[in-house]
A and B are shown apart, each in its own frame.
Chain A
Amino acid sequence: MLDLNHISFQAESENGEITIINDISLHLDSNKFIVITGPNGGGKSTLAKLIAGIEPITDGQIVFDGTDITNMNITERARLGIGFAFQQPVRFKGLTVLDLLRIAAGKNISVSEACEYLSEVGLCAKDYIRREVNASLSGGELKRIEIATILARDVRLAIFDEPEAGIDLWSFQNLIRIFEKMQQSENGRTILVISHQERILNIADEIIVLSEGKILRQGSRDEILPDIIGTKYASDVCRKLSEEA
């Protein structure tokens, strides 16, 4: 479904040009649940943004479902079926949750259809549907609405950048259920998640460890997970949350 051929990304910094993604090649199959983990600053979020076209690659080629999308912009890639859930969702003054879900669905979906997506992410739909996606929503509510916008699109490749960041324990468990349900789609959808969390790694078909802009390891869950469990690449969010509580 997705091929990254020798892609690199350099960015300007105070100390001159730095390489964030360094000659990565990667093949992702259809109908997989793939988790990218690795240390902070290792290039995980950047890699996700390069796939969605939010940042342009400096070198290499990206092929999606047989189409070279290297020079396509965000909109064109979105229309081909790439979805992206942001780590820190943006707020909009005036746009309602319903407006956003209708934009995501690409059509004037009914209120009851929109409500179904909200219920999926554990929000009581009637309380939220007319609300503005503005500062009155908490970070956790915003994050769930962000996930609902991906559900409202029938994407081939769904990318989630740290979906667990900012959500509570209850919705974390719900999130796992959403991923499992999303994978049951009939279009061979692949889900690509950036996460350190053991519970998400636990349901992965495949795990990629990214560090310093390069792929350190790539393989099936059974191959990779035992080696990284308990390290910072695979932490137990539930234990952490209960310790904090």
Chain B
Amino acid sequence: MTWWLAVVFVVLACVFALYLSVTAGRLDRLHRRIDSAQANLSTLLLRRNSAAIELASSGLLDPASSVLILNAAHVARECADDTLADRSFSESALSAALNAALDESHEPDEPGLTGLEHQLITEVVALGTRVQLSRRFLNDAVRACRQVRQQQLVRIFRLAGHTAWPQTMEMDDALPVGLGPR
């Protein structure tokens, strides 16, 4: 009878090992999804930064708005090499500056705007929309990853290795009133 038990034990051990390997594969893929979402968000934040600087230095905005945006964009750019979480504050400040400057009078559809001004504002807002989307996608990936990492077996067998606990990105990415997607 003992060989029976041994066979059962070996089979169970194999199934268990397989489960662990499969879960490790899933985890690795989830971490990659987070990495790529972070990279996308980072790129989009930089592009938004450039678009904001271009708008502010075009001479199309009033000087006060220009200074406000340039200042915020400059601070955000200096933090660009930090981790995403550390950039939260400066990027939120840039959103706030853009919102303050673009809020009321600069409706793209309003007559009186030159083609270039319209184009620059549209660009900043389009990038703002993509930043919003990208941040939601990142946070969704983080949630999915945390869900797997919280499982008992994953914790006991350290399937996540030394990868840091995934962090969501929290920032103010609101778009100027009246300029958001419908």
Co-assembled chains A and B: no
